[in-house]
Amino acid sequence: MVDTNAGSFFSEKSAKIFVAGHRGLVGSAIVRKLQSFGFSNLVLRTHSELDLTVQSAVDAFFASEKPKFVILAAAKVGGIHANNTYPADFIAINLQIQTNVIHSSFAHGVEKLLFLGSSCIYPKFAPQPITESALLTGPLEPTNEWYAIAKIAGIKMCQAYRIQHNWDAVSGMPTNLYGPNDNFHPENSHVLPALIRRFHEAKVRGDKEVVVWGSGSPLREFLHVDDLADAVVFMMDKYSGLSHLNVGSGKEVSIKELAELVKEVVGFDGELVWDKTKPDGTPRKLMDSSKLMELGWEPKISLKDGLVDTYKWYLENYAMKQ
């Protein structure tokens, strides 16, 4: 369903917009994108200024600020190790953030809210490419089901408020994201930033080889976070529907191709060695983003250009501080 008020978001560049989670990978990209389009009245709060898990604080914030639009990009996120170690934190904190922000947005007259989730909401063995209708059709990936359950609840909460109150709350589910402000932690980062760091450090040390886990055959989809931010603004302007929408590049790359590309971008001259005794993980994970693309959005940043951009950011903001 296309919004009957299509184009109204862009006509309100002085309207107050609350971007929750503005310091993270996703939130910071959304802020950059909104500013590049000329939106001038962004309401931003750090965690120390506003704890989104505290209901009374969130309600007081909305009562006082009364934003017209809300983009909910705040979440507790982490890799497999963190999800396995702190399952209570992942379900409780994310449920608290979502419930507080979504309800207070509705209660204090927010015109439109966009909730962002993750592709991990889908069943572990969902048919590929994964369509929006695969939601709740099978068991989740056990290593992150606590986070996934919270995100599914967020989608369902937006749908419930739309059904009961005719309130314009929509949801977007991004694929694997990367870009400026990514997490390059040696243990807790995802595959793409982990490869960038590993190849960079090997280059600096003058290593002869870099060992990567698995066979390199699994296929993955990646989207530059600036493309996601573009999709967020597009959905705020063009989309108003009950279903959540997948947001992906629609392009697959093998882990082997990805590693070769990162090696090239970083400029590592040594050998790339595959440790096939280590696990590969899911063979394929691709989302079907055709619903969003049929509305007129498309990603613009190629993987190569995105990697060059991300490595440049890593050098300027991360490598220098070590």
147-171 pLDDT, tens digit per residue, is 999 999 999 999 999 999 999 999 9
User: What pLDDT, on a 0 to 100 scale, did the predictor assign at position 3?
Assistant: 43
Q: How many domains does the chain have?
A: 1
How confident is the model at residue 321, as a pLDDT?
63
For residue 139, CA distances in Å to 143, 146, 157 come to 12, 12, 21
Q: Does 90 reside within a domain? A: yes
**Residue 188, token pair as written in the block:** 């807790």
Residue 181, by phi and psi: left (phi above 0), alpha (psi -120 to 50) or beta? left
Position 1 pLDDT exceeds 70: no
Is the pLDDT score of 5 beyond 80? no
Question: d(Cα 254, Cα 272) in Å, to the nearest integer?
Answer: 15
Backbone angles phi, psi at 282, to 5 degrees: -60, 130
Q: What is the average pLDDT score of the chain?
A: 94
Sign, Cα dihedral of 215, 217, 218, 224: positive
User: Does residue 263 lie within any of the structural domains?
Assistant: no
Of 11-20, 121-130, 165-174, 182-191, the range with the lowest mean pLDDT is 182-191
Residue 322: per-residue pLDDT: 57
Termini Cα distance of the chain: 49
CATH, residue 170: 3.40.50.720
What is the reported pLDDT for 320? 66
Instruction: Specify the pLDDT at position 260.
Output: 97
pLDDT at 101 over 90: yes
Cα separation, 233 vs 70, in Å, equals 11
Higher pLDDT, 11 or 291: 291
Q: Tell whether 234 is covered by a domain.
A: yes
- Residue 143: the pLDDT is 86
Per residue in 301-315, pLDDT (tens digit) is 999 999 999 999 999
Residue 141 lies in a domain: yes
316 located within any domain:
no
Quote the domain boundaries for residue 94: 17-180+222-250+286-300
Q: What is the pTM of this model?
A: 0.94
Residues facing 211 on adjacent strands:
273
Catalytic (active-site) positions: 147
Task: Identify whether 91 is part of a domain.
Answer: yes
pLDDT grade for 115, boundaries at 50, 70 and 90:
very high
> Quick check: 241 pLDDT over 60?
yes
Task: Tell me whether residue 174 is in a domain.
Answer: yes
Tokens, residue 212:
């990567």
Q: Using the predicted structure, report yes or no on whether residue 2 has a pLDDT greater than 60.
A: no
Band the pLDDT of 283: cuts 50, 70, 90. confident
Domain membership flag for residue 189: no
Helix (H) or strand (E) holding 27: helix 25-36
pLDDT tens per residue, range 71-97: 999 999 887 778 888 999 999 999 999
